[in-house]
Amino acid sequence: MTTIAVKDEWKRRAKIDDATYKAWYETSVSDPEGFWGEHAKRIDWIKPFSKVKNTSYAPGNIDIRWFEDGTLNVAANCIDRHLATRGDQVAILWEGDDPKDSKAITFKELHENVCRMANILIERGVTKGDRVTIYMPMIPEAAYAMLASARIGAIHSVVFGGFSPDALAGRLEGAQSSVLITADEGLRGGKKVPLKKNADKACEIAAKAGQSVDTVLVVQRTGGEVAWTKDRDVWWHEARDEVSADCPPVEMGAEDPLFILYTSGSTGKPKGVVHTSGGYLVYASMTHDYVFDYHDGDIYWCTADVGWVTGHSYIVYGPLANGATTLMFEGVPNYPDAGRMWEVVDKHKVNIFYTAPTAIRALMGAGDDKVTRASRATLKVLGSVGEPINPEAWTWYYKVVGEERCPIVDTWWQTETGGILITPLPGATALKPGSATRPFFGVQPQIVDNEGAVLQGATEGNLCIIDSWPGQMRTVYGDHERFEQTYFATYKNKYFTGDGAKRDEDGYFWITGRVDDVINVSGHRMGTAEVESALVAHPKVSEAAVVGYPHDMKGQGIYCYVTLMEGEEGSEALHKELVAHVRNEIGPIASPDKIQFAPGLPKTRSGKIMRRILRKIAEDDFGSLGDTSTLADPAVVDDLIDNRQNKK
């Protein structure tokens, strides 16, 4: 296996070398109080904390608090504290879907916009602790909305703009949110996304379930026509001029919630992951600083959407807390063509570029000339996140995009972790293509077998983290019991990530992917249970089982086994209808890649579907189905295999 040593130029520039990494790591685990007490000073506190860490993973008492008696305001940390020194520096560099469309927002302008939006929210009755739902395209106003909520102590819940009205309604209900911020339409790859229309529909659905929305603040993006509900709907461009440009930040406790972000799990409905203020901001800003070896003046670009945690921590909070210029991109990687990313890199002189393996694989397929026609001379660090990066894609990213000048940071983390947990540091860590390498400061990974026995040395198993770090989620919104059950019940006294991992002889970690019923489609997390419940909601479907299978571009694809109601017949038309139905219920990211009509599903005698077998069949791995003798009807498996082979 190739190892790429840290190059001298990376070392020269870097804030952290290998010796510093080792020394800091050692202190961070032997003396977390001292370590984090010191590093928490990187943000501004209104009232300093006296206690650093108060965390328990004990069964029945999962309780995570960092800096608990300190107070701060997250928005003031991301904006106000930079005004004196960098008020005229660009905070948000916005690149529109159309290559001719871009604009720069300075910290001063960010301050004014955020204050105005905060004042509109106040006028509409929003106060500390209220939930504000944000359903936006990738425009600066999405960041204003997040920061405006943070400024007044409201808790934001950003819902990805690609989700359906049903999914949005579920999240409005879950968060009991009566305020929604959206736009008339989004624009991606030249296509319009009817956000306001979806939002109207979502409000209707939510109202039926008892959650009324009394304010919809609408940003005008395309000028497209929208329906209007008087007294409820408010145009941002009209209201903004009627409120003050000043809004004092509210003093928040370190453990007051900053946001909720819904994410898919292996069972049931998406969970509202809760992140709080102090620890989250310390962790997001510190990881942004060291993982990307950020230097003052760098232009930093993370291609994620603010609808995901990557957008929260590494487009908005981390970079802005560090006073960075953060690039926000409205479009898609292949519009107008597959050279767009590299054109944007040149146009805005991007130094740090952070994207997902699925995008790398897609661009790799589009040919090297799309890359090499851009200079990319400003690039210094390249990042990857969202799913395991295959060594071929890694090597292409390293050699063709970065011309072997830029270290690749393959950052492993989760919505739940708030920030990056396992990653190389540019000036410290020798790289191995496909490995997320070593833990960040304060992070103590452990690999355990299925019974929970700790595995030592070079090994493979289930990835756990044995002690808390400041960016960790604190609870599932409204359901602390589910928090404990999901993350702390499988292996006692440790956080279970849901991922499998290998550790090699150098102590490097290689994430192998989810070991639960969550699949990772193009870096987006999808619960198989969610897709199943969407499928069975269709009148012609009696039963469904969904598994992931390897997909060249997406990492994993969505494979659905569908049993139809008595008398129904599988057909090309029904196939299409079911795909459309799932898209409609959840959103395009949940589109089934394959549907196999199956007269029966493999079940145990107690009626449990054996997904292990379904996964193997979806992978075309018929030889190693394992023990099928416990099945209620073993013949079902042969049928499925015949069926699958006939299709090919």
Cβ 310 to ligand WT7, closest distance in Å? 4
- Burial class of residue 648 in the structure, from the number of CB atoms within 10 Å of its CB (0-12 exposed, 13-18 middle, 19+ buried): exposed
Among residues 309 and 562, whose Cβ is nearest to ligand WT7? 309
Q: With CA atoms as reference, report the closest residue to 513 among 503, 504, 526, 500.
A: 500
Residue 525 in the binding site for ligand WT7 (CB under 6 A): yes
Q: With CA atoms as reference, report the closest residue to 360 among 426, 303, 430, 437.
A: 303
Angle subtended by helix axes 18-30 and 32-39, to nearest 10: 120
Using CB under 6 A as the binding rule, the residues of this chain from 288 to 317 that contact ligand WT7 are: 309-310
Q: With CA atoms as reference, report the closest residue to 590 among 517, 497, 520.
A: 520
Any residues with CB less than 8 A from the CB of 152 and at least 6 apart, and which? Answer: 118, 121, 122, 126, 127, 128, 247, 249, 250
Number of residues near ligand WT7 (by CB under 6 A): 22
Cβ atoms of 107 and 87 closer than 8 Å: yes
Pairing of strands 155-158, 179-183: unpaired
Instruction: Please select the residue that binds ligand WT7; options are 153, 278, 319, 388, rule is CB under 6 A.
Output: 388
Binding span for ligand WT7 by CB under 6 A among 106-114, 185-193, 513-521, 630-638: 513-521
State the DSSP code for 70: -
Cβ 398 to ligand WT7, closest distance in Å? 15
Give the bridge partners for 192, in sequence order. Answer: 187
Cβ 640 to ligand WT7, closest distance in Å? 27
Cβ 454 to ligand WT7, closest distance in Å? 20
Whole-angstrom distance, CA of residue 202 vs CA of residue 541: 25
Residues 390-429: x/- map of binding to ligand WT7 (CB under 6 A)?
Answer: --------------------xxxxxx--------------
Among residues 133 and 310, whose Cβ is nearest to ligand WT7? 310
> 3-class SS at 285?
helix
Among residues 292 and 597, whose Cβ is nearest to ligand WT7? 292
Instruction: Please select the residue that binds ligand WT7; options are 97, 330, 499, 532, rule is CB under 6 A.
Output: 499
Instruction: Please select the residue that binds ligand WT7; options are 170, 445, 498, 587, rule is CB under 6 A.
Output: 498
Cβ 499 to ligand WT7, closest distance in Å? 5
Token couple for 223 = 């000028």
Among residues 294 and 308, whose Cβ is nearest to ligand WT7? 308
Cβ 510 to ligand WT7, closest distance in Å? 9
- Burial class of residue 540 in the structure, from the number of CB atoms within 10 Å of its CB (0-12 exposed, 13-18 middle, 19+ buried): middle
Instruction: Please select the residue that binds ligand WT7; options are 255, 387, 532, 585, rule is CB under 6 A.
Output: 387
Among residues 414 and 485, whose Cβ is nearest to ligand WT7? 414
Whole-angstrom distance, CA of residue 489 vs CA of residue 493: 8
Binding span for ligand WT7 by CB under 6 A among 156-164, 379-387, 540-548, 558-566: 379-387
Among residues 152 and 363, whose Cβ is nearest to ligand WT7? 363
Cβ atoms of 352 and 401 closer than 8 Å: no
Among residues 72 and 420, whose Cβ is nearest to ligand WT7? 420
Among residues 70 and 388, whose Cβ is nearest to ligand WT7? 388
Residues 449-488: x/- map of binding to ligand WT7 (CB under 6 A)?
Answer: ----------------------------------------
Give the bridge partners for 326, in sequence order. Answer: 92, 300
Whole-angstrom distance, CA of residue 576 vs CA of residue 582: 10
Element spanning 25, H or E: helix 18-30
Among residues 70 and 333, whose Cβ is nearest to ligand WT7? 333
Cβ 526 to ligand WT7, closest distance in Å? 9
End-to-end, the C-alpha distance of the chain in Å comes to 35
Pairing of strands 299-302, 325-329: parallel
Which residue has the closest beta carbon to ligand WT7? 415
Residue 511 in the binding site for ligand WT7 (CB under 6 A): yes
Residue 542 in the binding site for ligand WT7 (CB under 6 A): no
Instruction: Please select the residue that binds ligand WT7; options are 436, 447, 598, 640, rule is CB under 6 A.
Output: 436
Among residues 52 and 316, whose Cβ is nearest to ligand WT7? 316
Cβ 527 to ligand WT7, closest distance in Å? 11
Give the bridge partners for 465, in sequence order. Answer: 445, 495
Cβ atoms of 174 and 274 closer than 8 Å: no
Instruction: Please select the residue that binds ligand WT7; options are 91, 145, 205, 385, rule is CB under 6 A.
Output: 385
Whole-angstrom distance, CA of residue 142 vs CA of residue 182: 8
State the DSSP code for 20: H
Using CB under 6 A as the binding rule, the residues of this chain from 165 to 194 that contact ligand WT7 are: none
> 3-class SS at 557?
strand
A 10 A CB-CB count for 613 gives 23
Residue 386 in the binding site for ligand WT7 (CB under 6 A): yes
Site residues (CB under 6 A) for ligand WT7? 263, 309-310, 385-388, 410-415, 436, 497-499, 511, 513-514, 520, 525
